[in-house]
Structure 1
């Protein structure tokens, strides 16, 4: 009887264990539902450049190609016009030429050479220079350029550089108000190797009316240039000049005469056997 009871207990225990395992095997781990969040696209913010597009840019081919706005050029002129006028009175160099060269050579003060050494005219060391210097790439790599304490010193050295060298002596025979002749004379004397150097100087003078400072020093009337000026019709030769000739009047230059009659300065010089661009009021110029 006792054995029978033990047998029944053993069976009951086995049945209980089997049902427990069965219930555990049916349980599954809880997995939370995944929620997909969709982000709304955000608008891209753009910066308006309208204010910048309203400003005229200048690409100035100084000793380091410089891009500036026209207001930078105007500020440069405002800063140095008095020095240019003073140098014109003392040394005889047109203020318009001084300022135009400063703009072109220094990038209106924004070029690397002018920033690093206050050299506003691209003057190289040359023989006899004992002042400070810097190395800068120009016609050749790492050329020697003069370094100054301040821009005013550069302006003074520019004037002394032109007046102190015989190669530029012919410039000082030109009229002080004839900026076209001075621009071409600088190139002819070897100041720059760029064949377009005179045209660039003349362009800055006329675009920014730099010749007004020549007029102030000389006590003459000033006629400003305006952009998109209508081309003047070809004038008739003065009655007393004869057919094919033109009589020089106040304010005339070979450059302006060549433009009026659709020819070139070189052609006028050839026709009139002229060695330079110097002309005088009342002179009869052969134009064809």
Structure 2
């Protein structure tokens, strides 16, 4: 009787040890799985970041040449043109830019090819959505040149509307000149332009 009890105790001890080993193995397997998933997620995140960075750099490089050419003609710094294009078109991804080559949200005049789209405007200290008619262009270069003409020749009601921008010789002064000329309704427009130029070192193209 005593002998059987000892045998049972030995069997129970071995069985308990086996369950403990299984538990440790399962815990280790879970840890390795979590680590592997974490590594995969991080690598996926890194790839997505690189793809986004590459796409942004490609957008910049696509509009640098025409921006630099226009600087020779108008005095508008490439960093200003590029940063405005980034801000206004979301790196060329907005519907207006991607489908209609309008990088700057330029409104259409009479008898100009146009498309009606919703847009945000800052009025009475709040953002509101309106629908407006925007110009349609054949290419980004055409859009950039039309944008430069607007800044150089002003509007039909004020040909010197952007004189402060044209008189400035650095990107800070030109950004503030845009704000002073009422280019955008956003009260933080100049700050956003300056931040984009500094963050992405767009001054290197000036």
- Higher helix proportion: 2
Give the distance between the partners of 1:107 and 1:70, measured in 2 at CA. 13
SS at structure 2 position matched to 1:141: strand
Report what 1:274 is aligned to. Answer: none
Report what 2:126 is aligned to. Answer: none
**Rg: which structure is higher?**
1
Report what 2:173 is aligned to. Answer: 181
Give the distance between the partners of 1:168 and 1:99, measured in 2 at CA. 17
Kindly indicate whether the alpha-carbon contact (under 8 Å) linking 2:107 and 2:133 is maintained by their aligned counterparts in 1.
Answer: yes
1:87 and 1:53, CA in 2 relative to 1: closer, same or farther beyond 3 A?
same
2:132 to 123, 136, 143: 143
5+ long unaligned stretches in structure 2:
1-32, 122-128, 155-159
Kindly indicate whether the alpha-carbon contact (under 8 Å) linking 1:124 and 1:146 is maintained by their aligned counterparts in 2.
Answer: yes
Give the distance between the partners of 1:189 and 1:164, measured in 2 at CA. 12
RMSD across aligned C-alpha pairs, in angstroms? 2.3
Deviations 1:260-285 (A, max 9, x none): xxxxxxxxxxxxxxxxxxxxxxxxxx
Deviations 1:30-54 (A, max 9, x none): xxxxxxxxxxxxx9xx794323422
Give the distance between the partners of 2:107 and 2:94, measured in 1 at CA. 15
1:169 to 163, 174, 183: 163
Matches within 5 A, 1:15-94: 48-54=40-46, 69-94=52-77
Report what 1:157 is aligned to. Answer: 146
Which 4+ runs in 1 deviate beyond 6 A? none
Give the distance between the partners of 1:210 and 1:131, measured in 2 at CA. 32
1:79 and 1:52, CA in 2 relative to 1: closer, same or farther beyond 3 A?
farther
5+ long unaligned stretches in structure 1:
1-42, 58-67, 215-288
The answer as to 2:123 corresponding to 1:131 is: no
SS at structure 2 position matched to 1:69: helix
The answer as to 2:184 corresponding to 1:203 is: no
Give the distance between the partners of 2:151 and 2:42, measured in 1 at CA. 44
TM-score norm. by structure 2 comes to 0.69
Matches within 5 A, 1:98-117: 98-117=81-100
1:167 and 1:88, CA in 2 relative to 1: closer, same or farther beyond 3 A?
same
Give the distance between the partners of 2:48 and 2:88, measured in 1 at CA. 19
Deviation of 1:78 (Å): 1.1
2:204 to 177, 196, 212: 212
Higher relative contact order, structure no. (Cα contacts within 8 Å, ≥ 6 residues apart): 2
Give the distance between the partners of 2:145 and 2:193, measured in 1 at CA. 19
SS at structure 2 position matched to 1:142: strand
Kindly indicate whether the alpha-carbon contact (under 8 Å) linking 1:55 and 1:70 is maintained by their aligned counterparts in 2.
Answer: no
Report what 1:263 is aligned to. Answer: none
